[in-house]
Chain A
Amino acid sequence: MNDQESHSAELQPTLAEIDCDGALRETAADAFPLTRGELFRQSATAAAAGALGYFGAAWEDADAAAAKTANDIAILRFDQVLEFLQSGLYTEAERLGALKPETLAWARVVGAHERAHLRAIERLLGPKKVKNPGFNYGSVTADESAFIKTAVAFEDLTAALLKWQAPRLDSRAILAAAVSLHSVETRHAAWIRHLVGLQPATSAFDKPAPQHKMAQLIDSTHFLVSQPKTTARKKPPYTG
């Protein structure tokens, strides 16, 4: 079994478990112009969809030429940093492997999603994309309680942030893309909340959270740091 196949196998049961009579797959087949065979071949992605309603790979390629105003670029660059931060946090937690198995399983899938979000935003921004800032998660990625608190806060606030940003976007095309991220972020939030016994849905209507709230949260974590300087233009002092 190769890497991709093992990934598929790892994600696949999720869809099968909740889609006993195949109704979801039929609905998906109606909603997207795929043959049944194509749909089932894409079940690695559909499996993520089973947990997270994700059918992105069935869409056409991104239209990187979508009109981008200075306002939209500023919002996207902020979101890109946020994706760097989140994907880095979850990826590091998975690599260290110090958390509970169910938390690691969450970090593994959500980390993959956030990395995919990051790549998509980077592609859209092109040369205007942000360079990866340095992050220092300290002991958070090896401490169950600290990680859960951080993950719940990030996922809750990301969903709320996207709600705040959406009506401020100039481009309907970017709005359409942002909405597809938003629903996934809310699923991440509900999933991690459920995992730790918090109520997944606390109200009938969610409120948006302004961007400066997220900036404050990021600032309060002290995760953002400068990259170490590991290269120099200097004569080597080595023994030769």
Chain B
Amino acid sequence: MRSRHAAAGVALLAGGVVAVAAFAHHSARARTAGRADGFVAQAIHLPPPQKPAFTVGRPQLLSRNETRARFAPVIRAVAARAAPGPASGIVASLALRTPEQTTNIVLVIGERARPDGLWVHVRLPVLPNSLTGWVRRGALGGYRFLHTHLVVDRARLAATLYRNGQNVFSAPIGIGGPESPTPAGEFYIRDRLSGFGDPFYGPVAFGTSARSAVLTDWPGGGFIGIHGTNEPALIPGRISHGCVRLRNRDILKLARLMPVGTPVTIQ
């Protein structure tokens, strides 16, 4: 009997503990909920966010398919060598300026890291045409990247400009006759001249790294240009001293599309 009373007492006590605990838990939840409601209410009454003065648009990754030619200005007069390294033979000298007094630039076609520093493989504006050489990276300034490539087709008498591999310009041309042919090879655009007021060259003339193998004593070194003309009726034809001539409306259009430094293939 006594043990039954004791068991009942224990059960009653346990029930009371559970009831108190449940009440305490409920009260705590109610208090927490009240605080949470307060936080929400405070947040709702905050002023609206400031509209930003600018937003940054969608980032554009570089296309994997872009054409990546590059050129660099010569910032130290330097000897170009046949191979990377100071012991290699000199193939040409690079000056700071072109004969037209623009910055001398070179087309970069490769690099090699060596213990004595980085060497850069460049296309040279010298005879024999298409010659390349190596210079220290420090002799050149910052790289400029291009996505254009001009192809001069001597058989078809046409010039075509590609941008990232797409044909964006094509026009008939005049090229050198048998006495002074336009040289074939890999070259680049060195500079652009305008405002010179000589109708023979048209309104715009591009200088290239190609040189006439015949007119070597020509003033300025016999560089091949790409320019307009005062005799459009002769185009297309083999009518020049080696330069590539375009009708004036075509050279003006080309001037809008083709940056200095563009690689040029004459085939």
Contact of A172 among B50, B64, B145, B225 (CB under 8 A): B50
Convert B200-223 into 0s and 1s, putting 1 for each residue whose CB lies closer than 8 angstroms to a CB of A.
Answer: 110001010000100100111111
A11 and B222 CA atoms in complex are apart in Å by 52
Cβ of B212: which chain A residues have Cβ within 8 Å of it? 239
Closest to A144 in B: B113
A202 and B218 CA atoms in complex are apart in Å by 66
A177 and B52: CB pair below 8 A? yes
A225 at the interface (CB under 8 A from B): yes
Cβ of B201: which chain A residues have Cβ within 8 Å of it? 235-236, 238, 240
B180 and A239: CB pair below 8 A? yes
Cβ of A116: which chain B residues have Cβ within 8 Å of it? 56-60
Given A57-B58, A111-B62, answer yes or no on A225-B118 (Cβ-Cβ < 8 Å): no
Convert B237-248 into 0s and 1s, putting 1 for each residue whose CB lies closer than 8 angstroms to a CB of A.
Answer: 000111100000
A228 and B103: CB pair below 8 A? yes
A131 at the interface (CB under 8 A from B): no
- 8 Å CB contacts to A: which residues of B21-54? 49-54
Given A236-B201, A238-B224, answer yes or no on A231-B54 (Cβ-Cβ < 8 Å): no
A103 at the interface (CB under 8 A from B): no
A212 at the interface (CB under 8 A from B): no
B51 and A176: CB pair below 8 A? yes
Interface SS of A by simple majority: helix
B166 at the interface (CB under 8 A from A): no
Closest to A174 in B: B53
B111 at the interface (CB under 8 A from A): yes
A56 and B55 CA atoms in complex are apart in Å by 6
B59 and A112: CB pair below 8 A? yes
A7 and B61: CB pair below 8 A? yes
A96 at the interface (CB under 8 A from B): yes
Cβ of B64: which chain A residues have Cβ within 8 Å of it? 3, 6
B111 and A239: CB pair below 8 A? no
Interface-forming stretch among B12-20, B121-129, B134-142?
B134-142
- 8 Å CB contacts to B: which residues of A118-174? 119-121, 123-124, 134-139, 142-143, 171-174
Can you report 5 A-B residue pairs in the complex whose CB atoms are below 8 A from each other? A63-B52, A64-B53, A236-B201, A239-B242, A240-B240
Query: Which 7 residue pairs are nearest across A and B when measured between Cβ atoms?
Result: A238-B225, A237-B220, A136-B142, A66-B53, A112-B59, A228-B103, A177-B52
